[in-house]
């Protein structure tokens, strides 16, 4: 496939779409932005794309709870379209606020008998907004397409509600893709390595197909090596750790 068409979904308060667009374009994708109202009015059709992205930000000011209003719009007005998109082989990526949206919309959370999602994201244990770089350990058994070949990453986080919470049974059933860890790979290191107190140190999850992926850290903020906080003091690398997430997605679509 010559062009990998990626849809960057926006709503009032989205603010990481430019960086995420750049990352996908560097990976070889063709990116188009769309306000959610353009999809609701059928001015743009999800079926015309191969990848859909919900980038970071504070959609609708994170009123009620982070990502909740956009999640309701997605669930009630686009749920069937997204389900069909995934069934047809599309990829979905949610970053930070996008993670919150995908979980609270029920796309990446378990529900009982059609009831409300039994997984959510809550306020950080620290009681404050956490903006720091974190070490991540990838689950080698994960089916996630976006993280194939990745073992560790070092990425920034920036959120006030990133703590994954849920019933133990639900947490045990999750396809965990990424764990918060320390520099040695210990996923039980605690704060500040786990910046929000997330259950089981969960930093990213995916669906059973591995084609719907959401994470709290920001891979789009570490695409170039010069974005690393110690780039002048460590051996130079061609790309930042986050770039592999976007390249994996684009290459998978090209080869599908």
Is residue 51 over pLDDT 70?
Answer: yes
Average pLDDT over residues 168-186: 95
Q: What is the structure's pLDDT at 2?
A: 60
Q: What is the structure's pLDDT at 256?
A: 86
Instruction: Establish whether 220 is a catalytic residue.
Output: yes
Is residue 59 over pLDDT 80?
Answer: yes
The active-site residue, picked from 19, 73, 161, 220, is 220
Q: What is the structure's pLDDT at 67?
A: 96
The active-site residue, picked from 96, 144, 161, 228, is 96
Is residue 110 over pLDDT 70?
Answer: no
The active-site residue, picked from 16, 161, 218, 228, is 218
Instruction: Establish whether 228 is a catalytic residue.
Output: no
Task: Kindly state the percentage of the chain with pLDDT values over 90.
Answer: 92
- 118-141 per-position pLDDT tens digit: 899 999 999 999 999 999 999 999
Instruction: Establish whether 218 is a catalytic residue.
Output: yes
Q: What is the structure's pLDDT at 114?
A: 55
Structural domains in the chain?
A: 4-255 (3.40.50.880)
Nearest to 105 by CA among 134, 138, 81, 88: 81
| 179, 217 contact by CB (below 8 A) | no
């Amino acid at each position: 496939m010559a062009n990998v068409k990626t849809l960057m979904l926006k709503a009032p308060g989205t603010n990481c779409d430019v960086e995420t667009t750049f990352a996908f374009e560097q990976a070889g994708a063709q990116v188009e932005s769309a306000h959610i109202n353009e999809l609701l009015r059928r001015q743009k059709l999800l079926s015309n794309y191969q990848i859909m992205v919900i980038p970071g930000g504070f959609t609708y000011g994170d009123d009620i709870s982070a990502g909740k209003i956009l999640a309701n719009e997605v669930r009630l007005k686009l749920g069937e379209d997204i389900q069909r998109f995934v069934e047809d082989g599309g990829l979905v990526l949610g970053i930070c606020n996008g993670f919150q949206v995908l979980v609270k919309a029920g796309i990446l959370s378990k529900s009982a008998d059609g009831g409300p999602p039994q997984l959510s994201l809550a306020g950080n244990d620290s009681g404050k907004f956490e903006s720091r770089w974190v070490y991540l350990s990838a689950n080698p058994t994960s089916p996630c397409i976006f993280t194939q070949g990745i073992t560790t990453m070092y990425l920034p986080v920036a959120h006030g509600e990133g703590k994954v919470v849920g019933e133990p049974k639900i947490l045990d059933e999750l396809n965990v893709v990424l764990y918060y860890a320390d520099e040695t790979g210990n996923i039980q290191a605690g704060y500040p390595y786990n910046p929000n107190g997330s259950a089981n140190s969960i930093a990213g999850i995916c669906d059973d197909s591995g084609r719907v992926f959401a994470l709290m850290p920001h891979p789009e903020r570490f695409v170039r090596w010069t974005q690393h906080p110690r780039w002048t003091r460590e051996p130079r690398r061609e790309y930042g750790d986050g770039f592999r997430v976007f390249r994996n997605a684009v290459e998978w679509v090209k080869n599908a």
